[in-house]
Structure 1
């Protein structure tokens, strides 16, 4: 999606995000795209390319559930549809309807459902009655279930008409699972099944245009009902159609209920004595017909709560696509970390578990939902770790389910990002307690232009929320320093398995291989039991040491499986990432009095500066660490509250810090006599804004710098003669707090640059800054102009936490630059900016 502004185009290159950890959050549409909630955004991903295509802005609370219209269940009806629709409900009770046009791949926010729920939406179910008519129902923790009819426009850009058919109040025990179906027969009646906290399934029947009445309730489950799904009407040999309803519960059981058309009252034909006649369930009437419900089967096999069950989508069986059949196949997903496919056995007709997928490793922590692809040859689960797991049936004569690539990302606010030295990869850290490496994977077989980005490693999996990170810039092996909600900064070094994987990803395009140490002896890392430090695994580990480790492990509270770091030749899946791509920790830096808040490295890779959360001047000091020896070589005093960001000037002679105390400080950093002697001195401390200063950035070509604040302003300053600071200009007031800045040098001769400005609203703007030199080479007032406002559909949905231009060495003559951003919406984004 491009957005044009003054001959400049900004494109989305990559979005990384994890799934909200909520049941009913994901939906697989008939258009073969998946939707899920990522914080307040509705994210859309394409399973074929394993890329997130876009995020839809609009919700102001967590997105709890999404539902496609038509969903995978109605794919057989949706062959010629040009527009598909998506419903999304959030934790405030708001529901949005979105339109997606297949022809131009554009999204449009169609409407917001007028009567919102008073509490969070827990489930949305929908059925297509015709190409332009649909009915959906939503449940909420406020104890109400709303049923709506939507008339979809027949031409593009038309209006959707929405009317409320009914509001059903269910009392103090809310419903959390819904399923709608058209009853077989001709009478235009519907059945709505709902289940929730009272352990019963309630069946309501209603007409297309009217109220829904309570028809019957089905008892049998002994715990909360978690998922319900109707099959399409099944036509047997006798041609009296029957429906099947599958239900799952926290009692670990799955039940299949049959709804058969009951003989009408006037017909006194003698009933056949069959087993069904002895275990008859309740009968309910809908219009002229009545239906008998009986328990068809009980499926036992899961060892924990079963969060979702779904019938395999109906498949077209004839050429013209009108005839379709409902496969006898059910997918269930459970907190026991497995998904199962159940089918009736050919001879006995007894339902059996035919396929089980799911890594029984510690990393999945259970599945919140399972989904079929419209064609029925792929299944997807989303799990506790915000992760997706996709399996595809690649067998021809027999079933053979193999794991596939999926998009991945953080499942909590992303606090900081840092580019590798040459920009080969991007490292991000988050309050989900992980750090992740994203890289463009050069794939010869890919049809797309350019390379697709994927997560290729998860260097740190920690027991605390991680707040800040900096990759060390100097030569040698890849290293980074991260700071979390603890008083210790930690240093990590890339192991051999990562270096080899990276060379596959970049196809040796980068120049970093020249200055790598030849003798990297560490293959990977293992996690400790509490998850607070990572121990190295050496290349030549002797078998005795492994045995000894295993024996020791038996006595600990938790035995952690041994990691197996390997060289990856294609982008890894979740199971490999979570366990086998850790980096070993080489140092701990002790000294701060509180949780770490910001960290930065100088541009030669000689020094690292760090700060922590602070309420007093003594705690707000900035520590300087020497890279290599990791000795503390300086403690800089200036601020009285938390230092929010630190940055070295590009010639490494000054360190700029900004703080909650509304001041910025500049320290002169000098290398003195000895090789490792550092002297530092406070040059200036100045109050700069009326509110917290969140961010700062130096001009790569000189000693100008920018500061951005909660007071919605960005100020451009110049450090003159290394001793005094002059305010050059203040940019026009922004609409929201400024939370992130990054300055890119474009043309050294004209001192021309681009300043990226990120706001609390999630929006990003690029400003062009240039200085015109006067005769006596003093700089006159700089020119600033808004270059481009990024399209909200490619920006963040919540606050931008950090912006970073890719530090490309070729940037001076290149016309295409990459900008990375991260934010509170759990997303890491990369944009391509073409000037």
Structure 2
């Protein structure tokens, strides 16, 4: 193939949410923004797909805020462009612009005068179509208030001015809310709460100068969330505001701010309960507002991390901007979200809806958010997961769980494709192994295929470093290695095989084996280290929990119920009911495992562990099936970082921290016996070699190193290794390589290169051979095919690249490339060779 064009499209992104409180924001444009490590990820709740990730932050993203937010959705119907603020753990705040018509994103600016420590909360309000005010708080004890004039055209300049920088002392604020005061005063009120258990109200004008107006006491622990309502309309006038606050004291308080003149006239008529619990008076210019505690809501059993007013419906009263619905949503660490509304007759606020309480896996919610229309609610949980409920009832409320995107919430360390490419499997430092597959019968996207997580086959007690899928015949199996000395072998249960058939709408993968698979699913053990099988016949018997079986008291974990899924699963099903049983443990290594690979015939698995000496750095060879250790290769002095078998299984290539690569020849001598011999070991790079990959059509291979170079080598006459080519130096350390063949006749291929800065490049490689197999001069040629757009790539280290090994792609011009990285993301690209 001559150096032609290559086109790359994004197919899928899987990512979990950073586990922090103000991380998620649902905008008026009906998209959700959240932080996934250093990236800002955007997902569409309608399709349950992550649309893009925005690169720009150097540290973990802590909080996001849309302008306009869902509260101002009624004002945003004609808006062509929406804006997003994101703050990170270094104190930086970035403003982004989204053009709705062409779905294009733009990095607008970084807010100057950044915080000295991490940003913990950003809040913003639209004061007109093109004017917004936002405020940010940080653990450095400061709160900044900014005015931003948004550009009138896409790509225009934003005017940013600092209205105030408030120092709040040694006890930082962690929750903020802004509002315009009712009555035409032009004043802005800023509420803040945090570690001193009080709510502080500051008052200011659009010209700046915010002054401390008063403080509200009542909460007995840190204040975690604050939200102002829009002006409340009584008797045709808007003259009061409501502020709702939630705290670690498990309580929610509602405060009313009423224009003073109105409050005084009322007092003469009646003595209400409010007059006994009146708070301070807030003075703003010539107006003053009486503050009183309106209601105290008790119902949660743990810290209440967020409260939010239901977004208003569009204007219903003439001359008034909108009608604020009397409904709030709270989310708590007790694993529930509640909707509170006042009772019609008494006006007492009651809990009318509770969701989430049945799941034993969510480990608490960090925040809850309304959709702009108020018909859906979204929580994000401790496990980096999303939980979405939609009100599908017509005459009465009926909140039903909906599909959401999912993914890892820590660095993803390795990925592997199923042997026919039906799914990809990823492992992560979040201690889970997840399976992502296309769900074919969904009527939403092109080719009718959308990707979802369909199983969480391993949930472990250690960070998982590496994985390999057994390539040979028989049931689906994989081996994973974690921060322990044992490799573990897992086998697909019957429930997964049936789910996979639903997802791919194919005839069963192994019709003859389905009868043989007697294991329906798996249960988690008490310490989360091994997964025990649930047998088909046992699934229909009810276990006698009260019998005299002498059950360990720790074993009170609810039993898993393996299910055959007929549509993409939600978090509650994934986290518990899709485990694979563990069939073997492989003991032998002296340290935690670091890399694994399987040969193409599916008969050998090689494993390596972290090592500081030659004896520990041995590569162990295991026989698939009997799982006996049948070989120990000594070829390196430090950790072997990656291994790969050549495509004819005659050679095993290994690269190491000792800057060398080694090639071993491997021959099958008997049924259960192999002979292996170290052919060569060579110092190849100046720094650690992280990665290697074989040419699918021959005995050429590539190595990539921290020294920012990629070198191409060939094995000559089965004994010596010669260097063919060094690619031009890259801008960053090379962390991952994957070589795919394009044309067997001309020995052309594409080499995918993943770097430490998150970027991915594809290179055309061509190796020329003569009839007798010897390499001609110049031997090999390489040319850059495409640099992927940074908006498509990872935002930190790429850990692994893998081409999808489907039968179709052997000589076709359309292939798929999977990647994973330190930014918690699993990504899939469609690559078209033009």
* Superposed pair shares fold, TM > 0.5: yes
Give the stretch that moved more between structures: 271-280 or 404-413: 271-280
How many residues are paired up?
A: 829
Distance (Å, rounded) in 2 between the aligned partners of 1:680 and 1:719:
16
Instruction: Indicate the SS of the match to 2:415.
Output: strand
Between the aligned partners of 2:443 and 2:70, the Cα distance in structure 1 is 28
Secondary structure of residue in 1 paired with 2:203: strand
Deviations 1:447-495 (A, max 9, x none): 5444110000000000000000000000110000000000000000000
Residue 618 of structure 1 pairs with residue 601 of structure 2: no
Per-residue CA deviation, residues 529-578 of structure 1 (Å, 9 max, x unaligned), is 00000000000017778226986585423511000001000000000000
Structure 2 match to 1:377:
375
Match of 1:345 among 320, 343, 346: 343
Verify the 8 A CA contact 1:757 1:764 in the aligned structure 2: yes
Partner residue in 2 for 1:561: 558
Give the alignment of 1:55-134 within 5 angstroms. Answer: 55-134=53-132
Q: Choose from 780, 805, 808 the match for 2:806.
A: 808
Q: Partners of 2:679 and 2:672 in 1: how far apart?
A: 22
Does structure 1 conserve the Cα–Cα contact (< 8 Å) formed by 2:317 and 2:323?
no
> Structure 1 CA distance, aligned partners of 2:602 and 2:310?
55
Give yes or no for the alignment of 1:695 onto 2:691: yes
Q: Is the 8 A contact 1:76 1:321 kept in 2?
A: no
User: Does structure 2 retain, via aligned residues, the 8 Å contact 1:264–1:289?
Assistant: no
- Kept in 1: contact 2:316–2:323 (CA 8 A): no
Q: Helix, strand or coil for the counterpart of 1:43?
A: strand
Give the whole-Å Cα distance in 2 for the aligned partners of 1:551 and 1:250. Answer: 42
Judge conservation of contact 1:626–1:633 (CA < 8 Å) in 2.
yes
1:737 aligns with 2:750: no
Give, in whole Å, the separation in 2 of the partners of 1:445 and 1:185: 50
Q: Which residue of 1 aligns with 2:749?
A: 753
Give matches, 1:753-772, under 5 Å. 753-772=749-768
Moved more, 541-550 or 163-172: 541-550
Cross-structure match for 1:825: 823
What is residue 720 of structure 1 aligned with on the other side? 716
Map 1:408-419 onto structure 2 (within 5 A). 408-419=406-417
For the structure 1 residues 811 and 321, does the alpha-carbon distance in structure 2 shift closer, same or farther, using more than 3 Å as the test?
Answer: farther
Question: What is residue 524 of structure 1 aligned with on the other side?
Answer: 521
Deviates further, 540-549 or 180-189: 540-549
Match of 1:46 among 39, 44, 59: 44
2:510 counterpart SS class: helix
Measured after TM superposition, the shift of residue 270 of structure 1 is: 4.3
- The change in CA–CA distance for 1:275 and 1:646 in structure 2 (over 3 A counts) is same
Q: Report the Cα offset of residue 262 of structure 1.
A: 0.5
1:359–1:575 CA contact under 8 A, matched in 2: no
Gaps in structure 1 of 5+ consecutive residues: none
Pairing of 1:428-507 with structure 2 (within 5 A): 428-446=426-444, 448-507=446-505
User: SS of the counterpart of 2:575?
Assistant: helix
Task: Give the Å deviation of 1:722.
Answer: 1.1
Residues 361-414 of structure 1 deviation map (CA, whole Å, 9 limit, x = unaligned):
331100000000000000000000000000000001110000000000000000
1:300 corresponds, among 298, 301, 320, to 298
Cα deviation digits, residues 487-532 of structure 1 (max 9, x gap): 00000000000000000000016x8335645311000000000000
SS of aligned partner of 2:627? coil
Aligned to 1:686: 682
Match of 2:229 in 1: 231
Rounded to whole Å, the distance in 2 between the matches of 1:552 and 1:380 is 42
Equivalent-residue separation in structure 2 for 1:288 and 1:829 (angstroms) = 57
Counterpart residue number, 1:252? 250
Of 543, 547, 553, the match for 1:546:
543
CA distance 1:6–1:813, shift in 2 (3 Å): closer
Q: Is the contact made by 1:553 and 1:559 (CA closer than 8 Å) also made in structure 2?
A: no
For 1:729 and 1:770, locate their aligned partners in 2 and report how far apart those are by CA, in whole Å. Answer: 11
- 1:659: which partner in 2? 656
Unaligned runs of 5+ in 2: none
Shift of the 364–266 alpha-carbon distance from structure 1 to 2, 3 Å rule, reads closer
Deviation at 1:268, TM superposition (A): 12
Q: Show the 5 A alignment for 1:153-302.
A: 153-237=151-235, 239=237, 241-263=239-261, 270=268, 272-302=270-300
- What's the Cα RMSD here? 1.8
Q: 1:570 to 1:321 in 2, by over 3 A?
A: farther
> Is the Cα–Cα contact under 8 Å of residues 264 and 290 in structure 1 kept in the other structure?
no
Alignment-derived partner of residue 508 in structure 1:
506
Report the equivalent of 2:668.
Answer: 671
Change (3 A) 1:487 1:321: farther
Q: Is the 8 A contact 1:135 1:147 kept in 2?
A: yes
For the 8 Å contact 1:179–1:192, the answer to whether it is kept is: yes
Match of 1:74, SS?
helix
Any conservation in 2 of the 1:772–1:782 contact (CA below 8 Å)? Answer: yes
Alignment partners' CA distance in 1, 2:144 and 2:829:
40
What residue number does 2:358 align with?
Answer: 360
Deviations 1:789-831 (A, max 9, x none): 0000010000000000001222233111000000000000000
Aligned with 1:428: secondary structure?
strand
Is it true that 1:589 corresponds to 2:592 in the alignment?
Answer: no
Determine if contact 2:466/2:596 at 8 Å carries over to the other structure. yes
Contact 1:197 1:223 in 2 (8 A): yes
When residues 550 and 182 of structure 1 are mapped into structure 2, their CA distance, relative to the original with a 3 A threshold, is farther
1 CA distance for matches of 2:391 and 2:738?
A: 46
Please give the per-residue CA displacement for 1:145-181, whole angstroms capped at 9, x wherever unaligned. 0000000011221101100000000000000000000
Deviation at 1:288, TM superposition (A): 1.5
- Give the alignment's TM-score, normalised by structure 1: 0.97
Asked if the contact 2:525/2:555 (under 8 Å) is kept, the reply is no
Give yes or no for contact 1:706–1:714 (8 Å, CA) kept in 2: yes
Q: Do structure 1's residue 397 and structure 2's residue 426 form an aligned pair?
A: no
SS at match of 1:546: coil
Distance of 1:258 and 1:468 partners within structure 2:
56
Residue 320 to residue 777, structure 1, CA distance change in 2 (3 Å): farther
